[in-house]
Structures are given as structure tokens and as C-alpha cells.
Amino acid sequence: MNTLNSSTQDATVRKDILKTKHRFGMVFGIVTGLAFAAATWGGDALLMSRIHAYQPWLKLIVGAVVCAPVGGLAGWLAARLDKPIFSVLLWLAAAAVFAWLSTVNSFRIFPSLIVQTDPEFASFINYTVYQNLAIRMALAYIWTGIFGMLVGVLQLPLSEGAVFSATSGSKLITLLVPTVVMVLCGVIVDDLNNEPLRSPVVALHRVVEFAIETKGQEIDPKLARDMRRSTVRAIEDWLGRPYYFIVASFDRELGQVHVFANFGGDWADCTVMYNQPSFCKPLSP
């Protein structure tokens, strides 16, 4: 009887341990997915919100909504299958989703959602998907694949230690490892897919803020040239109104970007050439 009770207790303990591993695998995956989303779109969202970009948090929301469950599923399945090769393959699959989203979120999903939520933008937002954008996606696949594979290699040994750890602190430290890995990955992917559309807005915002601060003042001609003050000459009367920016279109190389600026209801089309604002012109109603 004692032997039977002992066997039953051992089976119960093993079952509880497996459940704990599966739950931790899911948490591990969710944290990893959120870390990637935060690094890829979080910094971009924070900066864009500071420079008056339209809907700066939208890409981050989309990224978190997709990456968290994808990561959670990969982590949970890896824990259930409990084989290193499956863990690596599952995280490579999750990384492929992350890479795909990192590109389409900026160039397809974001403009599509903007137009759907506010049809006013349909008349001027034109995000043409050129063939060379496939190169960006391929690079995103390569980078996220490398880091995803690393996460897959690390999950099972890290989870094993965390499950049998007696303290919550040790479990949290274990979760820091995939967080750091995917933050590094996200920073690289952000620079690949978000920076080319962010930098023109940053440059234009700098010009507009300088023009607002110096409106009506005598300015040193050299400083005015350096700050490209003439860019906003045609919309001088609008300066000082509440404003926001949105990228409307770009060329094949993302060198010439059209940023539309709304100043209290009036629209201006601002051309930015290789992150150098050139001129802004008022648009007809």
C-alpha cells in the first residue's frame, strides 16, 4: 500500500512539474515576444510622440498584439515537446513571423489602419511597396532568425533551472536573458524598417520648432541656412498653431520622403531629401 501511495505521489509531482514547465514556457515566450515588440516599435513610438507624429503608438500596439501570442505559443509548444531541435525550429518559425511583421507593420499595416480609421487620409497616403523592400524583409528574416535560434537554444536549459528555482527572483532573472536577446534584435530591425520613415519627420520637426521659436526675430543668415529655415517660408503664417506630421509617400530608395503637416486644419506637403528638409507648400483644400 505504501508503495502504491508513493508511486501515486511521484506521478502527481511529475505531472505538476510538467504543468509548471508548460506554464513557464508560455510566459517565457510571451515575454520574449513583448521584448521584441518593445524594442522594434517602442522607442520609435516614444520618439514619434514627442515630435508630433500622427498615431505614434499604433505600430507598437499592432506589434505587441501579434508578437505576444506568437511568442507564447512557441514557448509553450517548445516546453511541451521538450526537445532542443523542436525548440529551435519553433523559435525560428516565431522569428519569421516577427520579421514579416517588422516590415509590413511599417509599410502596409500602419497606412492601411490609418486610412480605415480616418478616410481623410486616403486621398494622399501612398505607401508604394517597391520590389527592393523585399531586401529589407530578407535582412529582417536573417537577423530575427539568428536571434530566434539563440532563444530556441536557450529556452529549455533556462526553463529547467527556473522551474526548480525556489525564488521568484531567480525566475525573473531567467526571463531577462531572452529579453536582452530580443531587445538587441529589435533595435537592429527598428533601424532597418522604422528609421528610414522616422528620420525625415525628426528633421522636419527640428526645422518647424526652430522656425516657431525664432518667428519675427532677426536671425543670422548662416544659422538660418544651417537650420534650413527657408523650408517653411511658404507656410510662415501657420507657425504657432497646433500641428502634427504623417509620412505620405516615398520614393524607391526612401531618399525622397513627402511628410504632410497639419497646422490647425491646414495641410502642407513637405519634401525631405535624404533627411534634409527642402520645402513645404500649402495644399489646396
Same domain, 162 and 215: no
Q: Letter for the amino acid at 226? A: D
Phi first, then psi: give them for residue 219, nearest 5 degrees: -120, 140
Q: What are the grid coordinates assigned to 158, written together?
A: 533556462
Same domain, 54 and 178: yes
- Radius of gyration for the alpha carbons in the chain, expressed in angstroms and rounded: 25
The total domain count for the chain is 2
Q: Which of 193, 218, 233 is a domain's end point?
A: 193
Q: What is the pLDDT along the chain (285 residues), one digit of tens a residue?
A: 455 555 665 556 567 677 878 888 999 999 999 999 999 999 999 999 999 999 999 999 999 999 999 999 999 999 999 999 999 999 999 999 999 999 999 999 999 999 998 888 888 888 887 777 888 889 999 999 999 999 999 998 888 876 666 566 667 888 899 999 999 999 999 999 999 999 999 999 999 999 999 888 888 889 989 999 999 999 999 998 999 999 999 998 889 999 999 999 999 999 999 999 999 999 865
Four-CA torsion 275, 52, 60, 202, nearest 10 degrees: 20
Give the HSE-up count for residue 275: Cα atoms under 13 Å, Cβ half-sphere: 7
Same domain, 82 and 175: yes
Same domain, 160 and 218: no
b/e per residue 96-131 (b: at least 16 CB within 10 A): bbbbebbbbbbbebbbebbeeeeeebeeebebeeee
Report which of 285, 240, 280, 246 is spatially closest to residue 263, judged by C-alpha positions. 240
**CA angle at residue 68 from 62 to 74, to 5 degrees?**
135
Q: Which of 193, 225, 246 is a domain's end point?
A: 193
Q: Which of 166, 193, 220 is a domain's end point?
A: 193
Same domain, 232 and 112: no
Residue 258 and residue 266: Cα distance in Å, rounded? 16
Q: What residue numbers bound the domain in which 188 lies?
A: 2-193
Measured over all CA atoms, what is the biggest interatomic distance in the chain, rounded to whole angstroms?
A: 97
Place of cell 517653411: 232
Same domain, 70 and 153: yes
Q: What are the grid coordinates assigned to 61, written together?
A: 500596439
